[in-house]
Amino acid sequence: MTQVPTTVVFDLGGVLVDWNPRYLYRKLLASDAEIERFLADVTTPKWNLEQDRGRSWTEAVEKLTAQFPEHAELIAAYDTRWEEMIGGPIEGTVDILRELKDDRGVGLYALTNWSEEKFDLTYPRFEWLSWFSGIVVSGTERLVKPDPRIFHVLFDRYGIDPSSAVYIDDNEANVNASRALGMVGLHFTDPATLRTELTQIFR
């Protein structure tokens, strides 16, 4: 990118919000080995992604409970106690977001794989979510990253030129998708590294 970007787009979970189902299941299962087995074999990332794609939680729980009736209570908890999976904000990244808002004057947007139902619960918890000029939620659009179509929803809805935008995500496949569309994609690992990368871009 030769020009200074005018837009920064953030992923949310794993970048600005510390979300991890282990926070809940450490209260419900006796050992880390049990937790890992349950998350790998029952409430899998693939299963959870369908809620991010717009499937209702009622349908998701019913289908999985029919498949694993012996885990009915644990499966139900993924829905009813979902908010206990949020550890809180990732403060270092929130600080960066605040600085971009206050000092840089860039357009700030979010593009997230998130269930519409659960995002509606989450939005009021974090005041800084209101700093974004727009948020595209996969569950609302019924499209999930890294599908390029959801990036185009963002571009078209908010008039974003991908060649003047930076995209930040902790999922490498999503970062690669953003780069293929002409964005500067940054693979998030920690706030300090992100700060260094953004300083180089905006210098």
Are residues 64 and 97 both part of a single domain? no
pTM: 0.95
Q: Is 147 left (phi over 0), alpha (psi -120 to 50) or beta?
A: beta
What's the total number of domains in the chain? Answer: 2
Backbone angles phi, psi at 147, to 5 degrees: -55, 120
pLDDT digits (tens, 9 = 90+) for 34-78: 999 999 999 999 999 999 999 999 999 999 999 999 999 999 999
Are residues 65 and 79 both part of a single domain? yes
- Asked whether residue 2 is assigned to any structural domain, the reply reads no
CA distance linking residue 11 with residue 137, whole number of Å: 10
CA distance linking residue 65 with residue 79, whole number of Å: 12
DSSP symbol at 166: E
Residue 36: which residues within 8 A CB-CB, separation 6 or more?
Answer: none
pLDDT digits (tens, 9 = 90+) for 91-141: 999 999 999 999 878 999 999 999 999 999 999 999 999 999 999 999 999
